[in-house]
Structure 1
């Protein structure tokens, strides 16, 4: 499905939007719920990724296909590795079969897991023969995707002797590691994170409890981007959020002050308000702890005629697409002067935005959603717009509620 987005007639709005539970929290909790059935989850994410995760955890088939769901691929690799007596072939989409899994597989093999590659060395599909694991120490690079580390942490308390992970070198995406550890703590699973060592103690059972998933901050980023382009005095209320968030992307509240957008925390909601015009010439920010919002910020800077230098983006090379190259290609089509490296993005101040450009999404939900707020400036087309369901089922409905006109068009 391709759609045409048209600009708002009135740039001053006051709207309320409810956003589904965090995909990151939901997928962690789904694994933990399978290990500890005492858990009840509320406000679960309705994303495709979480649907794939639920299906994979409930099926008894040997072949488990998780489509584009990278989080599910990584978390399930460890889960099936300790599912004693079960043999599983874990696979996914064509893109998933070209996203590396070797670092996690090697760490699990070091612990004694039995995992082999069905096709290309280092990539899915992988065959996993579940077994009891008794080793309790492993090393893994600290600058890899935090999902590899979280994958090990999620199963750690079910290992006979718990698990000690030594992170080698510089550690990136710390908030996502802390999110996993905070959920373990919330469930009563003892753990420590000191220096480069993480230790999770074994736990056989936990107390019955209900866990309410906070709404997704990554999804909130697109409304921050919209708010930056609105008339002064506009407000957007988003629920359900909390001040003390486990999600690294909650740094949005601080970052978007640079664009004149303030955040007020209420009782399980936040209110974004366009307070003033942005007078910043260049935005320089290290996003190593929140790389998923890089696309949104880059597009906002382009939209608001602000130069930016974004760093800490090395993990974007192995997402649904090479997000840095995709950003460079699509922003260039719109008239941007942009350059990228393997871990950074530099954007010069723009003077105009080209109209009616067709934005490719590369099977990447965040490409579609990050570019949508540009409709407040110029009409544009989003190709394969249904890709947003990977993380945000109601995205286009919510865009229409904001006032953006959407029309399905033929390519």
Structure 2
């Protein structure tokens, strides 16, 4: 399905309810598999969370999680702990190109039995569940936080818990802290001092424990972009959000003040308001703790005809696509000048935006959603727009409800 977005104007005032965070949902789903007395409310309706639930509830030996990267990492750790159970964990062709050796080696340090069935270092994985009797494990600190979180989530179910040493400078700390906060809320004792994380063993809670998932801040990013590209005075209210969020992408509230957008936190929602046109000519950001919003920010800056420099983007090369290359390619089709390295992106200020350009999405949900707000400036087409279901199935209908005009082509 391709979608043509006409040049549009947002309603002056609107409201959107956004489903639960994919990151929180998948962490809680793994914990629920280990501790069935957990009850979860406002679970994400994303493909990733749905595939995670399907895999956990399926009796099939083969678990196919398609494009769901978080599920691949978390389930690798989970099934390694399931004594007496054997599974073949696989995914899409792109998933079989995404490295997982770092996590597999860490689990092997703990005593896991995992073999590669195709290419060394990549899924599919043959996992024979066993009792992990060791507790000491070491990882490079700059690896994907999902590897670290996968280990921390299984840690309380292990005989001795885990002592995880991270070597070097830690990246994506908010996602690690999200995992530890959820463990603490469950009742698990943890410690995070210097570069050493300790999680102690924990018995199943006797009583039901309820968790309500906060709405997804990554999904909110596209509405920040829409407000930034809209007229002064435009407001969008989003629910359900809280000021003291566990999600790293909540830094959006501060970042988008650079684009003239103010955030008001209410009891269970946030209201975004375009208060002024930005006077800045260049935006400089370090996104090592929130790399998933880099695409949104780059497109916002381009739409506002600003220069933008972002660093801390090293994890973007191993996502659904190489997001740095994809961003450069699609922005340049629109008339931008972009330079990238393995860790950074620099967007040069431009004076015009080409109309009716067709944006390739590379099987990456964030490519589709990040470019959609440009419809407030020029007509634009999004190829294979259904890819948004990975994290935000209602995205296109929500955009229509606030004034973005579109048609399938």
What TM-score results when the alignment is normalised by the length of structure 1? 0.99
Q: Does residue 1:251 correspond to 2:248, yes or no?
A: no
Aligned to 2:118: 119
Listed as ranges, the matches of 1:102-181 within 5 Å are 102-181=101-180
**SS in structure 1 at match of 2:231:** coil
Aligned to 2:315: 315
Aligned to 1:76: 75
CA distance in 2, matches of 1:12, 1:4: 19
| Number of equivalenced pairs | 408
Residue pair 1:39, 1:210 contacting (<8 A) in 2 also: yes
Listed as ranges, the matches of 1:296-335 within 5 Å are 296-335=296-335
Listed as ranges, the matches of 1:33-52 within 5 Å are 33-52=32-51
**SS in structure 2 at match of 1:149:** helix
Residue pair 2:4, 2:381 contacting (<8 A) in 1 also: yes
Listed as ranges, the matches of 1:216-365 within 5 Å are 216-365=216-365
Residue pair 1:12, 1:230 contacting (<8 A) in 2 also: no
Aligned to 2:391: 391
CA distance in 2, matches of 1:376, 1:231: 10
Query: 4+ residue runs of structure 1 moved beyond 2 angstroms?
Result: none
Shift in Å at residue 108 of structure 1? 0.4
CA distance in 1, matches of 2:372, 2:220: 13
CA distance in 2, matches of 1:387, 1:11: 23
Aligned to 2:189: 190
Shift in Å at residue 60 of structure 1? 1.1
Give the gaps of 5 or more residues in structure 2: none
CA distance in 2, matches of 1:52, 1:330: 29
- 1:325-380: CA deviation from partner (whole Å, max 9, x where unpaired): 00000000000010100000000111000000000000000000000000000001
- 1:274-321: CA deviation from partner (whole Å, max 9, x where unpaired): 000001111111000000000000000000011011000000000000
CA distance in 2, matches of 1:134, 1:162: 9
Residue pair 2:46, 2:392 contacting (<8 A) in 1 also: yes
Shift in Å at residue 406 of structure 1? 1.2
Residue pair 2:10, 2:402 contacting (<8 A) in 1 also: no
Shift in Å at residue 137 of structure 1? 0.7
Shift in Å at residue 204 of structure 1? 1.2
Shift in Å at residue 398 of structure 1? 0.5
Q: Does residue 1:14 correspond to 2:13, yes or no?
A: yes
**SS in structure 1 at match of 2:336:** coil
Shift in Å at residue 227 of structure 1? 0.3
CA distance in 2, matches of 1:13, 1:318: 38
CA distance in 2, matches of 1:11, 1:41: 34
Residue pair 1:25, 1:213 contacting (<8 A) in 2 also: yes
Shift in Å at residue 49 of structure 1? 0.3
**SS in structure 2 at match of 1:112:** coil
Residue pair 1:12, 1:232 contacting (<8 A) in 2 also: no
Aligned to 2:29: 30
